[in-house]
């Protein structure tokens, strides 16, 4: 059972992890930005942006998202130290060599999906395919019958070649190459490359469970809203509580006894 982060136990864990050199890592949709019916309408709220900018003067800040780099950067309104897109496929040094292979697989999937979607009797017109170059997101929030659409999409994905790794989220399926990093392995690589002494990671969805399942003492994991099946160590009661968490991080890192972490390039 997850414990609320703002409990006594949560505050003690926060005190223990917040140290100079720590890495502050956040998912975007549903964590820093509210979930919206149309993904293209998502933006970083001003109260969240202001606190992230303050936090970035005290510790390295990273955004680790399923969105592409091009997409998410225009929604931030500030420059974090690191922006990792496509669940780890973009923004991490060392994975550039796989890019062409991953892009080719996604091209094939996209064409197959578009061909199948021509059958309007089987596939709801509300389905939207988001091409992220190295992965695909298939949104079905606007479908009339989401349960039926979910089942038909899952059957369609099982016929794709090469077989994708399919991760289901909130009315969205993410299709990624089987060899692709997940958010957990991406975070570990980022920590190693940045030399971080520890990290806090905040997320809200199925794709964030790859981080939550790491269960490492040097990584504090926080989920937005409690969920019985989540492996996260702690939870925030609601998404707007991210503002209070950011305030708690800034307050601890700004203590006179702690030297601000120098800003590094992404």
Cα→Cα distances 125→24, 58, 111, 224, 228, Å: 39, 47, 17, 31, 33
The catalytic position among 8, 27, 168, 259 is 27
Which pairs from 154-158 meet CB under 8 Å and 24+ separation?
156/113, 156/116
Parallel, antiparallel or unpaired: strands 136-139 and 199-203: unpaired
Give the distance from CA 17 to its chain's centroid: 21
Can you tell me whether residue 83 is helix, strand or coil? strand
218 is catalytic: no
What does the alpha-carbon distance between residue 150 and residue 31 come to, in Å, rounded to a whole number? 24
Torsional class of 138: left (φ above 0), alpha (ψ -120 to 50), beta (otherwise): beta
So which residues are the catalytic ones?
A: 27
């Amino acid at each position: 059972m997850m414990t609320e982060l703002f409990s006594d136990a949560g505050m003690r864990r926060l005190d223990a992890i917040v140290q100079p050199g720590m890495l502050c890592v956040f998912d975007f949709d549903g964590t820093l930005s509210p979930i919206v019916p149309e993904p293209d309408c998502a933006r970083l709220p001003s109260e969240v942006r202001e606190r992230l900018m303050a936090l970035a003067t005290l510790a390295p800040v990273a955004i680790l998202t399923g969105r592409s780099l091009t997409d998410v950067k225009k929604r931030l309104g500030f420059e974090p130290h690191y922006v990792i897109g496509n669940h780890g496929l973009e923004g991490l040094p060392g994975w550039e060599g796989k890019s062409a292979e991953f892009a080719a697989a996604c091209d094939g999937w996209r064409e197959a999906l578009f061909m199948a979607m021509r059958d309007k009797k089987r596939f709801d017109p509300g389905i939207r395919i988001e091409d992220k170059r190295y992965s695909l997101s298939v949104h079905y929030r606007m479908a009339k019958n989401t349960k039926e659409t979910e089942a038909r999409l899952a059957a369609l994905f099982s016929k794709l070649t090469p077989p994708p790794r399919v991760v289901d989220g909130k009315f969205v399926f993410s299709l990624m190459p089987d060899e692709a990093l997940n958010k957990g392995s991406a975070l570990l690589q980022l920590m190693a490359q940045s030399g971080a002494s520890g990290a806090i990671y905040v997320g809200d969805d199925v794709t964030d469970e790859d981080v939550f399942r790491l269960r490492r003492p040097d990584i504090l994991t926080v989920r937005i809203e409690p969920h019985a099946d989540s492996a996260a160590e702690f939870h925030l009661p609601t998404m707007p509580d991210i503002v209070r968490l950011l305030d708690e991080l800034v307050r601890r890192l700004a203590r006179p006894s702690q030297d601000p972490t120098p800003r590094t390039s992404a």
